[in-house]
Structure 1
Amino acid sequence: MNYRFQNLLGAPYRGGNAIITNNTELISPVGNRVSVTDLIKSQTITLPVQSSSNITRIAASPDGVFLLTVDENHRCQFINLRQRVVLHRISFKNAVNAIKFSPDGSHIAVATGKLVQIWRSPGFKKEFFPFELVRTFADCDDKVVSLEWSPDSSYLLAGSKDLTARLFCMKKLKFGVFKTKPFMFLGHRDTVVGVFFGIDKNTNKVSNVYTVTRDCYIFSWGLSGNDGEFDGMDVTEPPSPGTPDRDGDGTVEGVGSGDIKKRKGYEGRGGNLDEEGGYLLNRKWELLRKDSFMQAQAKLTACDYHRGLNMLVVGFSNGVFGLYQMPDFVCFHLLSISREKITTAVFNELGNWLTFGCAKLGQLLVWEWKSESYILKQQGHYFDVNCLAYSPDSLLLATGADDNKVKVWTVSSGFCFITFSEHTNAITALHFMANSHSLLSASLDGTVRAWDLFRYRNFRTFTTPESRQFVSLAADQSGEVICAGTLDSFEIFVWSMKTGRLLDILSGHEGPVHGLMFSPTNAILASSSWDRTVRLWDVFDGKGAVETFSHTHDVLTVVYRPDGKQLASSTLDGQIHFWDPIDGLLMYTIEGRRDISGGRLMTDRRSAANSSSGKFFTTLYYSADGSYILAGGSSKYICMYDVADQVLLRRFQITHNLSLDGVLDFLNSKNMTDAGPLDLIDDDNSDAEEGIDKQTRGKLGYDLPGSMPNRGRPIVRTKSLRIAPTGRSFSAATTEGVLVYSIDDSFIFDPTDLDIDVTPEAVDAALNEDQLSKALILSLRLNEDSLIKKCIFTVNPIDIPAVAASIPYRYLQRLIEAFADLLESCPHLEFILRWCQELCKAHGNSIQQNFRQLLPALKSLQKAITRTHRDLADTCSSNEYMLRYLCSASSGK
């Protein structure tokens, strides 16, 4: 039961801005979560923390330790990236369009509405007021959409929708007052979406300012004049809204305009400047040049500037991006990624990699512009994921969605390595063959396709004489027979895998066949239908339905227990029925209506407790040992039940994202108006370039399943559940994407056979006396992972057979799990494999007799051995070709 959230697949990017920290770590928002991708190791993880709604803006500290996230509800989280925990929280009054740490990491600039706020950056220590507001600039006449700090953190550039950019000074004058009015960069015809400082490499000081506008122009500004004055601008300023001025130590300055005039040497204009940071205050800016990106039919939606290389990257609404050398405005590259809008574009620290994101396609790219090659290329499903399938070795996970695509993911890295797009309609079911080398997919387009995972091609297509819509799929253990259930004709079609010929059509159901599964132990096929029956079919003998289990409500899905001795079915009244398929008897029933009951929808007329909608399970799946079952449906919960005792063990809440409908149990009556719920009234007049794109309609123009009209709030639900054959993890296809949960091994003390004499000291004493068997058994009883591995490595290879034979059966599962864990990280491959071989020799009969209890541990061991074998095979193959090349090259000389 000790599962915890591990990763989010199927949706690498959904909107907002992406950033790169430590030159190789790509951080991107995914819904209300944050994904971190290591571009060197090619691995991605999703932070366990969640925001209250979809994240729109993120910013990282210069050292890459802290992360700021801001969501649609203006709530900000201050996260420690290394520990993956939230340190502080704060809420802003208006929407945040830009947020940035200062280069020295001491302050944070926040563009919230028309205001630019400067906050002191919190640290590791616990504080009552961790966020301290230092300064507020209220000079802009419209929303501020872009910010940029100068390299010395003394100045701040802000671009606004009022067609101007402003230069703010963070330093104070000699007598403790700020520079009053900012310098304004005028002449733009559209929103200033990017502002950047250009650096003179000789003096290492700011020499240029670049402003990039939404109508595809870039303005280059240069310094002129050095008259020691403030360009006629008054020093006194109106009171700042919401906060007093504070000095560098955070103390309030009590200096007024009258007091300042009394100071010696001050006359109201001009005056002496601080030596630090005064080089921009007393000089004018002039427009040097104005250049066009020549994208007349598009809008500029994303941009970034690298100071070290003097290079600018821009992305447009037509999917084109450009790379330019500044200040001469020389175009290096002008390429197209897609036809959709580029929503983020950013350099890494060295400037050799470019990151692009397209929110509408869920696309995330990292491109090396010098070699013109991809470092990372990931794209999620365009619509909701409908179905999942684990490979038998648990290394791969396949997903099918409404976008007609089948994607195969590597579970360990979280990356998609192949996409199949031959289907012409939504994917409804997936099934991995026993050899893990081929994958089956069923679709509403009337075909079942078989995919070769070695050659990445469709090698077999199963069709019917008349077009049908398939919604369920199954294959027998031998892989000889393929079956698919239909939505429209209520039939089950049977094909031969070898020839692709249609063998039989099983008729008898009077409703759509949404559940289909072969027994793991024989050739009996179980099918469930909306006609309130579960039927068993003998496919090979052709006798038709050999057994019928009647229910009082529509049957939504059916699943076999891994040993084939039990059958579970879910009905529309929220019950799970457990049947004995051999005797045809109902064993017991679980009432799950209260457990699956989720939140209240915006359009519901009744409260969540009184509503009957969604209180049923649409997907079921047994654990590897059959002791518990997972159930999910149109709810924010996934329920785990103990099969033997019929009790609820645990509920997993898949999301806390308030951007989805059905998360809240109680709605606020203040948000109800005469025209309906306030959240469903489309009063958002902001530009499409801001925030996150909400895809609410399909290709045919109708509302997507799970979406709401107007504002398009998707409904939280779980469409498919699968437990890995190893039993160490499970995946859920939800509205948020594919959530992967794995067993939490952080707890240590879980003894299996403990008494007063079993202690770590006793283990060490047995090792010192060279009693290896006793030490290993004591460590297994204590169940301390470090002690178990210590005892394993103490055994000499010659003594392995004797020690392995002395291990009692009840400790065998824990020992196999230890070996599976060691194979993942230990370099002593031959030593561990020798242990596994001797265990199989000594306990072969016990393993066969108790295969069901040991199945999860054995699957984990098989997974580890398979992965190691693949890595070694690739290395040996590469070395072989390298040696051949070197030998041929040396002989040629």
Structure 2
Amino acid sequence: MNYRFQNLLGAPYRGGNVVITQNTQLISPVGNRVSITDLLKSQTITLPLQSSSNIRRIAASPDGTFLLTVDENHRCHFINIPRRVILHRINFKNTVNALKFSPDGKFIAVAAGKLVQIWRSPGFKKEFFAFELVRTIADCEDTVTAIDWSLDCKYLLVGSKDLVARLFCVEKLKDGILNKPFLFLGHRDNVVGCFFGYDKKNTDQVNKVYTITRDCYIFSWGYSGNNDGNFDENDEGNSEPASPGTPKRDGEGNVNGESLGNVKKRKDFDGKDLGEEGYLHKRKWELLRKDGFMQSPAKLTACAYHRGLDMVVVGFSNGVFGLYQMPDFVCMHLLSISREKITAAVFNESGNWLVFGCAKLGQLLVWEWRSESYVLKQQGHYFDVNCLTYSPDSQLLATGADDNKVKASPSAVAVVAVLAFSKVWTVSSGFCFVTFSEHTNAVTSLHFMANNHCLLSASLDGTVRAWDLYRYRNFRTFTTPSSRQFVSLAADQSGEVICAGTLDSFEIFVWSMKTGRLLDILSGHGGPVHGLIFSPTNAVLTSSSWDKTVRLWDVFEGKGAVETFPHTHDVLTVVYRPDGKQLACSTLDGQIHFWDPIDGLLMYTIEGRRDIAGGRLMTDRRSAANSTAGKCFTTLCYSADGSYILAGGSSKYICMYDVADQVLLRRFQITHNLSLDGVLDFLNSKKMTDAGPLDLIDDDDSDTEEGVDKQTRGKLGYDLPGSMPNRGRPIIRTKCLRIAPTGRSFAAATTEGVLVYSIDESFIFDPTDLDIDVTPEAVEDALDEDQPNRALILSLRLNEDSLIKKCIFSVSPLDIPAVASSVPYRYLQRLIEAFSDLLESCPHLEFLLRWCEELCKAHGNSIQQNSRNLLPALKSLQKAITRIHQDLADTCSSNEYMLRYLCSSTNK
């Protein structure tokens, strides 16, 4: 039961901006969560924190310790990244379009609607009033879109939709008087970005300003006047002339009878005197040059500036990005990375990497512009993931979905081509390393072959394809005489026979894996065959259908259906227990039926309608408790030892049941994201109008430049393309559940992506045979007395991970056979789990493999007789050994190539 959220796969980026901290840590929002990618280690993790809705903007402190996230409901989280905890929360009153820490990390500038608020940044300690509002700037006439701090934190550059960029002095004068901003005018469209430029000789001295607009233009501004950086009050040209009849504001002309030259001293937010320095915003700024990016009719959607290199990167709505050397506006690169809008562009700290995000495609790219090579290239599924499966060693995870690609024909007319993607992910790193896109319709089922090197996929396009995971190619395609739509897939243990169930003809097709020839067509079902699985112990094929039956087939003998299990409602899916002595199927009335496949008897039934119920759609006319729609399980999965079963469906919950006692152990709520439909149990009556719920009313004036074109369902959702009653709000659901063969993690294909949950044993104390004499001190005494056998058994009884590993290494290699044979069987599983953990990180490979070998020799018969209970631990051990074998094989291959090269060079 101790499963906790570990990672989110299937989509590396979903919208908003991205940031890079510590030069290599890439932080990107994924729905209402945040993912962190280590670009050096090639590993990504998702923080176990959730916002109330999709995240719009993020900002990281200069040292990379703190992260600020703001969602669509204006709710802000202040996060400690190393500890992965939320320290503080605050709500803003308006939509936040820009967010940035000051270079010294003391302040945060927030663009909330038309206002720019400057807050004092909280620290590590928890305070009752952590955020302190220092100043509010209300000079902008429209929504603020861009913010940039100067390096000395004294000036703020603000761009907005009123076609103006403003330069503010954020500090106060001596008497607490605020300065009037300088206005950069002349733009003809929204200001997308504004940046301070610095002198190359004096990197702290601002000498120019860049403003970038949505109509693909960049304005370069410079100032004239004294070169020493001091403001001359006698230079009338340095101040903006006032219009005739305009009354003087505070800070203009005379202040309490004194001239401006007498009040040049400034104070910071804490009241400290900052000395007599000139005012940057009082200089006479002038337009030096105006350059166009020549991408019309496309719009500029993202931009970034690197002050050290004096370079600008821009992204456009047609998928093109450009890299320009300033101030001469020299184009370094102009390339196309997609046909969709680029929604994020940023430099890393050293400036050698460019990061681009495309929200519509769920695409995240890191490009090294000097060598013109990709550092990272990840793209998630556009639609919901339909199916997933683990590899036999639990190291890989395959996902299938249906994804749309838009291509332009020679006649410039957009043609939609549907490409169904199958992706294979490395579970430990969270990266997708191969994508198969030969299917032309939704991928509905996946299956890993026992050899771990072949993946099968079934699709609605009427084909079953076999993929080679060594050469990354489709080496065999199974088809039918007439077009069919496949929704289920199974293969026997030997890998000789492939079976697929259809949606339209209600048949099961059987092929030979070696020849690809169609062997048989099994008929008898009167509805779509949505469940198909082979028994783990024999060659019996089991199928479930919407015709309210579960059928057992003898495929190899050709006898057809040998037994039928009738039900009172449509059967949605069927699964076998790992030992093959029990099968479970879910029906449309929300029940899970458990059958004995050998005797053909119904063992027991679990009523799950109340357990899965929860969440109300915006279009529902009844409350969640009174609604009858969706109260059933569409996917089931047994645990590795068969003691419990996971069940999910069209709900925000995943239910875990104890099979023997038929009780609910735990409910996992897969998301708290209010941007999805079906998360709330009760709708807010204040948001109800005569036209329906306020969230479903289409606002024609809304700005669609930001965000994602959301899809409610894929091809398996059975919704008509033109009928979207919830205005594109995705509906939360779980389409597929799979537990890893090791039993230490499970994955769920949900609307938000593939959620991976793993067992957390960091703080669990679960002793075995605990007695008054079983203490850590007793273990230490046994080690001091040179009794490794007694010390190991005591540590296993105490079940302390650190003590068990310490006792393992205290055994000399010569004593391993004797100690391994003396370990009681009831402690064997815990000992194998300890070896699995050690093999993941310990360098003493030969020593640990010797332990594993002696355990197998001493307890071989016990392991075979109780394989069901030890199967998860043995799978974990197999996974660790396989990974090490692959790493060593790659290293040896590289060394062999290097030695051959050196030998050939020496001979020459």
> What TM-score comes out, normalization by structure 2 length?
0.94
Per the TM alignment, residue 175 of structure 1 is displaced from its structure 2 partner at its CA by 3.1
| Residue 694 (structure 1) shift | 2.8
8 Å contact 1:706–1:715 — kept in the other structure? no
Q: Helix, strand or coil for the counterpart of 1:421?
A: strand
1:681–1:710 CA contact under 8 A, matched in 2? no
Cα distance in structure 1, aligned partners of 2:593 and 2:712: 36
Q: Give a deviation string over 1:711-745, Cα, whole Å, max 9, x none.
A: 31111000000000000000000000000000001
Per the TM alignment, residue 849 of structure 1 is displaced from its structure 2 partner at its CA by: 0.5
1:608 aligns with 2:612: no
| Structure 2 CA distance for aligned equivalents of residues 121 and 359 of structure 1 | 29
Q: Do structure 1's residue 596 and structure 2's residue 595 form an aligned pair? A: no
Amino acid at match of 2:511: W
Paired residues of 1:697 and 1:704 also in contact (CA < 8 A): no
Q: What are the Cα deviations for residues 545-601 of structure 1, in whole angstroms up to 9, with x where unaligned?
A: 111000010000000000000010000000000000000000000000010002011
Are positions 1:567 and 2:583 aligned together?
Answer: yes
Q: Which residue of 2 aligns with 1:631?
A: 647
CA distance 1:619–1:700, change in 2 (3 Å): closer
| Alignment partners' CA distance in 1, 2:465 and 2:319 | 32
- Secondary structure of 2:732's partner? coil
* Corresponding residue of 2:122: 122
The 2-side partners of 1:300 and 1:369 are apart by 20
* 1:231 alignment partner AA: S
Q: Are residues 1:228 and 2:235 paired?
A: no
Matches within 5 A, 1:532-571: 532-571=548-587
Task: Note if contact 1:682-1:710 (Cα within 8 Å) is conserved in structure 2.
Answer: no
Q: In the aligned structure 2, how far is the partner of 1:376 from the partner of 1:312?
A: 21
Residue 729 (structure 1) aligned to one of 745, 754, 757 = 745
Does the CA contact (< 8 Å) of 1:156 and 1:169 recur in 2? Answer: yes
The corresponding residue for 2:198 is 199
Deviation (angstroms), 1:841: 0.5
The one-letter code sitting in structure 1 at the alignment partner of 2:259 is E
Shift of 1:887: 1.2
Of 464-473 and 277-286, more deviation after overlay is shown by 277-286
| C-alpha separation in 2, matches of 1:528 and 1:354 | 50
**Which of the residues 686, 690, 704 maps onto 2:702?**
686
Which residues in structure 2 correspond to 1:261-300 (within 5 Å)?
Answer: 261-262=255-256, 266-267=258-259, 271-274=263-266, 275=275, 278-300=278-300
Please give the alpha-carbon distance, in whole angstroms, between the structure 1 residues aligned to 2:295 and 2:400.
37
Is this contact kept in 2: 1:707–1:714, CA < 8 A?
A: no
Secondary structure of 2:259 counterpart: coil
**What displacement does 1:445 show?**
0.2
697-706 or 321-330, which deviates more: 697-706
Determine if contact 2:168/2:281 at 8 Å carries over to the other structure.
no
1:462 aligns with 2:466: no
* Equivalence for 1:112: 112
Tell me, in whole angstroms, the C-alpha distance in 1 between the residues paired with 2:722 and 2:735: 11
Q: Give the match for residue 794 of structure 1.
A: 810
Matching residue of 2:864: 848
Residues in 2 aligned to 1:522 and 1:257: alpha-carbon distance in whole angstroms: 89
Are the aligned partners of 1:526 and 1:534 in contact in 2 as well (CA < 8 Å)? Answer: yes
CA shift in 2, pair 1:613/1:269, >3 Å:
farther
**Cα shift at 1:171:** 2.0
* 2: CA distance, partners of 1:433 / 1:684: 51
Q: 1:390 to 1:458 in 2, by over 3 A?
A: same
In the alignment, the residues of structure 2 paired with residue 401 and residue 630 of structure 1 have an alpha-carbon distance, to the nearest angstrom, of 22
Aligned partners of 1:826, 1:62: CA distance in 2, in Å? Answer: 35
Q: CA 1:233/1:81 → structure 2, altered by over 3 Å: closer, same or farther?
A: farther
Query: What letter corresponds to residue 520 of structure 1 in structure 2?
Result: P
Q: Deviations over 1:438-493 (max 9, x none)?
A: 00000000000000000100001000001000000000000000000000000000
SS in 1 for 2:280: coil
Q: Give SS of 1:197's match.
A: strand
Instruction: Rate the CA distance shift 1:705–1:740 in 2: closer, same or farther, 3 A.
Output: farther
Q: Percent identity?
A: 83
**In 2, Cα distance between equivalents of 1:872 and 1:304:** 42
Instruction: State the TM-score, normalized to the length of structure 1.
Output: 0.95
User: Matched residues in 2 for 1:211 and 1:695: separation?
Assistant: 35
Q: Distance in 2 between matches of 1:10 and 1:743?
A: 21
**Is the 2:215–2:299 Cα contact (8 Å) retained in structure 1?**
yes
Question: Which residue pairs with 2:416 in the alignment?
Answer: none
The residue aligned with 2:519 is 503
- List aligned pairs for 1:49-68, cutoff 5 A: 49-68=49-68
Tell me which moved more, 166-175 or 530-539.
166-175
AA paired with 1:668?
N
Question: Is the contact made by 2:619 and 2:725 (CA closer than 8 Å) also made in structure 1?
Answer: no
Question: Which residue, 818, 836, 839 being the options, matches 2:855?
Answer: 839
Q: Contact between 2:181 and 2:281, CA under 8 Å: does it hold in 1?
A: no
Q: Distance in 2 between matches of 1:494 and 1:739?
A: 33
Q: Distance in 1 between matches of 2:720 and 2:73?
A: 24
| Alignment counterpart, residue 878 of structure 1, candidates 894, 899, 902 | 894
Mapped partners of 2:51, 2:811: distance in 1: 49
User: What is the CA–CA distance in structure 1 between the aligned matches of 2:295 and 2:443, rounded to whole Å?
Assistant: 38
Amino acid at match of 2:627: S
Question: In the aligned structure 1, how far is the partner of 2:489 from the partner of 2:495?
Answer: 13
**Number of aligned positions between the proteins:** 871
Residue 823 of structure 1 is matched in structure 2 by: 839
Give the conservation status (yes or no) of the 8 Å contact 1:535–1:549. Answer: yes
Which amino acid letter does the alignment assign opposite residue 42 of structure 1? S
- 2: CA distance between counterparts of 1:610 and 1:878? 64
Distance 1:702 1:749 in 2: 48
Structure 1 residue 203: Cα displacement: 2.7
Distance of 2:636 and 2:682 partners within structure 1? 28
Unaligned runs of 5+ in 1: 239-254
Alpha-carbon distance change, 288 to 261 in structure 1, aligned in 2, over 3 angstroms: closer
Equivalence for 2:132: 132
Deviation at 1:297, TM superposition (A): 1.7
Q: Is the 8 A contact 2:316 2:341 kept in 1?
A: yes
- 1:853 and 1:582 mapped to 2: Cα distance? 21
Q: Does 1:491 align with 2:483?
A: no
Q: Distance in 1 between matches of 2:689 and 2:108?
A: 38
Output aligned runs, 1:386-425, within 5 Å: 386-403=386-403, 404-425=420-441
Shift of residue 268, structure 1, vs aligned partner: 5.5
- What is the distance in 1 between the residues matched to 2:241 and 2:836? 72
Aligned to 1:43: 43
CA distance 1:566–1:301, shift in 2 (3 Å): same
* Partner Cα separation in structure 1 for residue 645 and residue 335 of structure 2: 50
- Output the CA distance in 2 between the equivalents of 1:699 and 1:25: 36
Partner of 2:335: 335
Letter in 1 for 2:530: H
Task: Indicate if the aligned counterparts of 2:400 and 2:445 stay in contact, CA closer than 8 A.
Answer: yes
Counterpart amino acid of residue 232 in structure 2: G
Q: CA distance change for structure 1 residues 315 and 270 in 2, over 3 Å: closer, same or farther?
A: farther
1:890 maps onto 2:906 in alignment? yes
Match of 1:762 in 2: 778
Q: Secondary structure at the match of 1:865?
A: helix
Q: 5+ unaligned residues in a row in structure 2: which ranges?
A: 267-274, 404-419
Letter in 1 for 2:769: D
Structure 1 CA distance, aligned partners of 2:717 and 2:650?
24
Q: How far off is 1:202 after superposition?
A: 1.9
1:281 Cα deviation from its structure 2 partner: 3.6
Change (3 A) 1:706 1:556: farther
Partner SS for 1:87: strand
Shift of 1:178: 2.2
- Alpha-carbon distance, 1:888 to partner: 1.0
Cα distance, 1:872 vs structure 2 = 0.3
Question: Do structure 1's residue 190 and structure 2's residue 189 form an aligned pair?
Answer: yes
Secondary structure of 2:37's counterpart equals strand
Q: Which amino acid aligns with 2:893?
A: S
Q: Which residue of 2 aligns with 1:317?
A: 317
Q: In structure 1, what is the Cα distance between the partners aligned to 2:539 and 2:715?
A: 40
**CA-to-partner distance for each residue in 1:180-233, whole Å, 9 max, x for gaps?**
x21000000000000000000223300000000000000000011246246157
